[in-house]
Structure 1
Amino acid sequence: MALNSMQEIFEKAASRSIPFWRVVLETDMEERQVTEEQSMEKMRAAWHAMLESVVSYQGDQRSRSGLVGGDGARMRRYAAADTTYSGPYVQEVIATALSVGESNACMRKIVAAPTAGACGVLPAVLVPLYQMGRATEEEILQALYTASGIGAVVSFRACIAGASGGCQAEIGTASAMAAGALTSLRGGDPQQIGHAAAMALKNLMGLVCDPVAGLVEVPCVKRNVVGSVNAVSCADMALAGVESRIPVDEVIDCMGEVGRRMPMEMRETALGGLAATPTGKAVKERMEQQD
C-alpha cells in the first residue's frame, strides 16, 4: 500500500475532510484498481478469518513442541472467578491474545497482522468489542483500515519483521496498529490516532526477538498480551487528550534505526535473550533430540 508517512494521511484527511480510515481505503482502491465494494469485501474476509481464529480456539490444543497451549482457557477460568484486577473487557483482551497466539503455534488459521508472530494483538482488542455488542461489523472494518494504514507506513519507513528489527517491529507495530484502530473506533481524529500509535510503539521500543528453540511460541505468545493491553492504554490516553511529544513518523523512523542497530543475536536467530538462558538451551536440545 503506497503510504509513505502518517503525515501524508493526516494531510489528505484534512484537505478533503474525510476520516483517516477512508484515506487508507481510497489508497487501496487506487493501488489495486478495485472498487470500494471490492476493497471492503477483501477486508471483510480478513475480519471474518480473524473472528474465526478466536471462536474456533480449543483450550485443549497444544503446540507440537508442548511449549504453549491452554493458557487462553486458563485465563477465562480465572476471569470467571471474578477476582481479576482488570475489568471484563481487558480480561477478554488478555484471553483472546493468548488464544490466537496459541492457535498460531498449533498451526491453525490466523491473520498475520502485520505478522504471524503478532497475530493475536488486533483480534484481542477488536473481537471482544464486537462480541460484547460495543462495535458493529462496519465499524470494525473501518478500524481495520486505520490499522492497515499504520502498518503500511511502518513497513515503508522501518520494518515489520523480527529478523530485521526485533520484536519491536512485530509486536510493536501490531500494538501501534491496534491502538490506532481503537482510537478510530471511538471517534478519535487523525492526530489522536497518530498519538496513540506513537505512544504504543514508543512503549515497546527496543523489544528484542529471542524465540526459544527458534519457535514463535516462547516468549512470543505472551508478548501478544503485552502488545494488546498496551494498545488499549494508549488509545485511552490519546482519546483523553494525552499526546506523544515525538511525532509519530519520527517514532517510526527511530524504531527502524533501533532495529538496524540491534545485535544479530537479538533478531529472531534464537542465539540471544531468553533463547540463550540455561532453560532456553535445554528446550532447544530436547527439541533437537525429538527430531
Structure 2
Amino acid sequence: MNIKNGKELVRRCKEEGLSIGEFILKQEMEESGLSREEIYDRMLDNLRVMAFSTTKGVGEKVISVSGLIGGDAYRLGKYLESGKSVTGRTMVKAMSYALSCSEVNASMGKIVACPTAGACGILPAVIMTMKEEHQVEEKDLVMGLFASAGIGAIIAQNATISGAEGGCQAECGSAAAMAAAAVVEIMGGTPDMCLHAGAIVFKNTLGLVCDPIGGLVEVPCAKRNAAGAVSAMTAADMVLAGVQSRIPFDDTVTAMYSVGKLMPEALRETGIGGLAGTKTGKKLKKEIFGDKDGKSKNKMNDDTFDAEKTGE
C-alpha cells in the first residue's frame, strides 16, 4: 500500500470521496492487477472462515491441543442464553465469538490471522457480532474488513504487529484498533472517525505485555482476545457518539512502537516473564511439556496427534 500513515490515508479518502474500505479495495486493484470482483471474493472467503471460527466453539466444546484452554466459548454461549448477563447480549456474544476463534486456533482449526494468529479472535468476533446484532449486510461487512486491512497495513508499516517485537499491545492492540475502525466504517462513520477509534484503542492497550504460558498462544491470549473485542466496540461507540482522541492515530502507533522497544525480552512472547513467570505459569508449562525426566504428560508431544481431528 502506497500510503505512509493515517493522516495521508484520511486526506486521500477525502480527496477521492471514498470510505477507507473503498479506497483500500481500489488500491489493491491497482497494485495486484486483479478485478474488483476477484479481490472482493477473496475477502468474502475470509469472512466465511471467520463465520466458522467464531461459532464452532460456541456450539460445541473445543479443546486446545495442550489442554490449557477450551470450552469457555461454549460456557459463554450458554450464559448468554440465560438472559442474566451483566454487560448485555452484544458484549457477551462478542466475547464468546473471540474465545471461539482462539480455541479453534489452538486446536489446529482454520482461522484468519488478522493480523496474527494470536489475535485472531478480535476482528472476526466484532464483525460477526455486528452482522447478527445490527443486521449488517454481507457487502458492508466485507467493506469493513477492507477498512480494517488498511488500518492494519499502516500499523505494520510504521510500527509492528508482532508480539515478539512489541508485546501484546502490538497484536491484540492492533487487532482491536482494526476492529474498531471496521465498526465505525460499517456504521457510516468517516475515515477520520475510523482513525479516532483506532487511536482510543491504542491508548487503552498501551503497554500490554506478551507473556504466554509455555510460549503457547493460549493463556492469557484467549481472554485478551475477548477483552480486545470489547475494547474495539466501546471505542467505536465513543467515536460514533462524537468523542475524539486528543492524541492522533499516527502518534498512538508511534507510542506503541516505542513502548514495545522499551519492553524487556521477558515480556515479548518468550514465555519467561509476566504471567508465564509466575509459580502457576511455570507449573502449567511443566505439565504440558513433561516432568523432570522429560516425559510428556500431554498430547502436545504425541507424534500420533492428528490435526485433522480438530480442523474445520
Report the TM-score range of the alignment, normalised by the length of the smaller protein.
Answer: over 0.9
Whether the 8 Å contact between 1:2 and 1:152 is mirrored in structure 2 is no
Whether the 8 Å contact between 1:151 and 1:174 is mirrored in structure 2 is yes
1:43 — aligned with what? 43
Distance in 2 separating the partners of 1:68 and 1:30: 43
1:163-174 to 2 correspondence within 5 Å? 163-174=164-175
1:72 — aligned with what? 73
Query: Structure 1 stretch 168-177 or stretch 28-37: which is displaced more?
Result: 28-37
Matched pairs, number: 291
Q: Which runs of 4+ in 1 moved over 4 A?
A: none
Where structure 1 has 5 or more consecutive residues not aligned to the other structure, the ranges are none
Identity rate, percent: 42
Distance in 2 separating the partners of 1:169 and 1:125: 18
Whether the 8 Å contact between 2:65 and 2:108 is mirrored in structure 1 is no
Q: CA deviation at 1:133?
A: 5.8
**Paired amino acid for 1:13:** C
2:310 — aligned with what? none
**Paired amino acid for 1:208:** V
2:53 — aligned with what? 53
Distance in 2 separating the partners of 1:144 and 1:61: 26
SS at match of 1:56: helix
1:282 — aligned with what? 283
Distance in 2 separating the partners of 1:227 and 1:106: 21
Where structure 2 has 5 or more consecutive residues not aligned to the other structure, the ranges are 291-295, 302-312
1:1-291 to 2 correspondence within 5 Å? 1-57=1-57, 59-132=60-133, 134-289=135-290, 290=296, 291=301
Distance in 2 separating the partners of 1:173 and 1:209: 13
Whether the 8 Å contact between 1:3 and 1:149 is mirrored in structure 2 is no
**Paired amino acid for 1:128:** T
**Paired amino acid for 2:26:** E
Whether the 8 Å contact between 1:59 and 1:71 is mirrored in structure 2 is no
1:78-125 per-position Cα deviation (integer Å, ceiling 9, x unaligned): 121111112211111011111111111111000000000000001111
> Given the two structures, how large is their TM-score scaled by the length of structure 1?
0.97
Cα RMSD for the two superposed structures? 1.2
Q: CA deviation at 1:191?
A: 1.0
SS at match of 1:64: coil
1:169-189 per-position Cα deviation (integer Å, ceiling 9, x unaligned): 000000000000001111000
| Structure 1 pair 56–79 and aligned structure 2 pair: CA distance change class (3 A) | closer
Q: CA deviation at 1:166?
A: 0.3
SS at match of 2:272: coil
> Given the two structures, how large is their TM-score scaled by the length of structure 2?
0.91
